[in-house]
Chain A
Amino acid sequence: MTDTGYVLAVIALMALVTVLLRALPFIAGHWLRRHPMVHKLGASLPLSIMVLLLIDAAAGQARAHGGLPWQELAAVILVILLQWRTRQPLLSIAAGTALYVGLRAL
Chain B
Amino acid sequence: MPRPTSNTLSIPSLTAPVAMGYIPLGAVFGFLFVQAGGPGWLALVSSLLIYAGAAQFMMVPMLAAGLPIGAIALATLVLNLRHVFYGLSLLNTLPANRWLRWYSIFALTDETYSVLTALPARERAPRMALLSALNQGWWVLGTALGAVLGAQAQVGLTGLDFVLAALFAVLAVEQWRARRDAVPVWVAAAAYAAGNALMPSQALAIAIALCLLATALRPARPAPAAETAHD
Contact = CB atoms under 8 A, between A and B. Distances in A.
B20 interface: yes
10 contacts: A8-B42, A11-B42, A18-B50, A19-B105, A21-B83, A29-B88, A43-B179, A44-B215, A44-B218, A52-B191
A57 B160 contact: no
A77 to B, nearest CB: 9
B59 A1 contact: no
Contacts of A33: 88, 91
Nearest to B49: A15
A90 B52 contact: no
Contacts of A50: 82, 168, 171-172, 175
Interface string A1-41: 11010111111111101110111111001101100111011
A40 B168 CA distance: 22
A32 B37 contact: no
A46 B188 contact: no
Contact of A41 (B50, B76, B83, B215): B215
Given A13-B73, A21-B81, A51 B185 contact: yes
Interface in B179-195: 179, 181, 183-185, 187-189, 191-192
Select the residue from B45, B77, B184 with max chain A CB neighbours within 10 A: B184
Per DSSP, chain A at the interface is helix
Interface residues of B, number: 88
Contacts of A9: 69
A20 to B, nearest CB: 9
A53 B166 contact: no
A66 interface: no
B38 A25 contact: no
Interface in A68-106: 72, 75-76, 79-80, 83-84, 89-90, 92-94, 96-97, 100-101, 103-105
Which 9 A-B pairs have CB atoms at the shortest separation, nearest pair first? A25-B87, A51-B188, A1-B37, A50-B172, A57-B165, A46-B82, A104-B159, A54-B168, A47-B175
Interface of B: 20-21, 24-25, 36-39, 42, 45-46, 49-52, 54-55, 59, 62-64, 66, 69, 72-73, 76-88, 90-91, 94, 105-106, 108, 111, 157-177, 179, 181, 183-185, 187-189, 191-192, 196, 203-204, 207-208, 211-212, 215-216, 218, 220-221
Contacts of B165: 54, 57-58, 61, 72, 75-76, 79, 96
A42 interface: yes
B174 A83 contact: yes
A94 B174 contact: no
A7 B38 contact: yes
Contacts of A96: 162, 165-166, 169
Contacts of B37: 1-2
A62 B69 CA distance: 26
Contacts of A97: 159-160, 162-163, 166
A61 B222 CA distance: 39
Nearest to B167: A93
A61 B49 contact: no
